[in-house]
Each structure stands twice: as structure tokens, then as C-alpha cells.
Amino acid sequence: MKSKLFNQDCSPSCSLCARCRKSPTEGEMLCIVMGVVPEDFSCRKFRYDPLKRKPREANLQSLYAAEDFKL
């Protein structure tokens, strides 16, 4: 089974690229290759960084009931 964390089937975006860093300006990234670019931009040098991906929040309310926590 493939891990979702290292799933590289995501759409390329500078916000997930290993060569980019956040810019102090909102909505822009600092790229080693291209310079200042928008967050949704991507180039041919895109390299996926799994640590930049924000995981979805788990919905634990549907998994457990109040009776599960009673002694």
C-alpha cells in the first residue's frame, strides 16, 4: 500500500517544491531557479517536497461515540 505522505501524484506547485521558500510578500514564493514567482506557478525544475504538504484534518467525531469514553 502506498503512503499518502509521499504520493507524488499531486499537481506541481511552487508551494510544494523543494527549491522554493515562502516570500515575505503574501502569495509569492522565492525560487532558486526562477526568482520571485506566484505560489501556484510551476516550472520544469519542480521537485516535490513531502514536508511542505499540509495533511487534511482527521474527522474523529464520526469514528467514536460518547459511549467509547465512558468507564
Domain count, the chain: 1
pTM (global) more than 0.85: no
**Considering the domain boundaries, does residue 28 fall inside one?**
yes
Dump the DSSP string for 10-42: SPP-GGGBTTEEE-SSTTEEEETTTEEEETT--
**Considering the domain boundaries, does residue 58 fall inside one?**
no
**Considering the domain boundaries, does residue 57 fall inside one?**
no
CA distance 25 to 71: 52
Residue 18: per-residue pLDDT: 92
Domain extent for 38: 11-51
Greatest Cα pair distance, the chain, in angstroms, is 59
Nearest CA among 41, 42, 44, 52 for reference residue 18? 52
Residue 6: per-residue pLDDT: 57
**Considering the domain boundaries, does residue 31 fall inside one?**
yes
**Considering the domain boundaries, does residue 4 fall inside one?**
no
**Considering the domain boundaries, does residue 60 fall inside one?**
no
Amino acid at 53: R
pLDDT below 50 — which residues of the chain?
1-3
